[in-house]
Amino acid sequence: MSETDNNNTTDRPPEQPVADQRPNPQQTAQPSISDLATDETTKAYVKFVTACFALVGAAAGLAVVLVGFLGGAPLSPDIIVSPNTFLDNFDAVMGQLYANRLAFQTMNAAPVAAGLLGVAGGLYTATTLDGTDRHTYVASALAGGVGAFVLVVVVGVLASVAVSTVPTPQPSETASALSGTTAQTSQLSSASGAISAVYIGGTKLAFDKLAFNAVAVGVGVGAVSAASAYVAREYAPTN
């Protein structure tokens, strides 16, 4: 070997070790569901969406309470003579029946309203949360589930305030005096029939059953909210 070759060999920089190009599992691992659920961004979305659910539930429940205490039955039996001629407490009976039915119907409608709000909440989260799809689905599910639970409980508690025992119909002296006449008896039967035809339910709130229903609705709405977020992320047009 010549002296020149020896010099080139001596001046050659040492070879650098090749970096390991294999991915590090610790660097590529995704956050767990518990980590995403306790993330501050997730908590903020859960708080906001739940507050919206609670407002809807409070609005529906307070409406029932106000109608029950201040309002009255907007419909009356279609008879020739005023029902008050035959029942001394006709307005009280019909008013409480109406308040009870309105409360029952509002409680029954709460899961439907929660489902609709769950879809809206999932769409909102999917379009505004700046995070991964997995993070979005977890946040949507939690927000929809907790919000639905709160809505059902708020509606049930408030609506139950308006529910009370329906007063027993009290026939008036006029009704008793005319009960022997065929026409008056028929009219009295019509008035009594309009009252007895309305179902009278219970008046005591079973909170354990209400809570169980709220949990069941929350699970379903949480799944729907996550599905709504998935649809928004995967299928929504971008142009």
Domain ranges of the chain: 32-234
Rounded distance, CA 126 to CA 140, Å?
8
Rounded distance, CA 226 to CA 123, Å?
9
Query: Is there a contact between 131 and 192 (Cβ–Cβ < 8 Å)?
Result: no
Query: What is the Cα 214 distance to its own chain's centre?
Result: 8
- Average of per-residue pLDDT values in the chain: 80
Provide, rounded to the nearest whole percent, the portion of the chain with pLDDT above 90.
48
Q: What is the pLDDT of residues 203-212, one digit of tens each?
A: 788 899 999 9
**Sign of the dihedral through C-alpha 38, 41, 44, 45:** negative
> Is it the case that residue 31 has pLDDT exceeding 60?
yes
**Sign of the dihedral through C-alpha 200, 92, 105, 114:** negative
Residue type, 217: V
Q: What is the pLDDT of residues 150-198, one digit of tens each?
A: 999 999 999 999 888 777 777 766 656 655 444 544 554 454 444 444 4
Rounded distance, CA 65 to CA 103, Å?
8
What is the per-residue DSSP string for 173-199? HHHHHSTTSHHHHHHHHHHHHHHHTS-
Structure tokens at 41: 């961004």
pTM: predicted TM-score of the whole model, two decimal places: 0.75
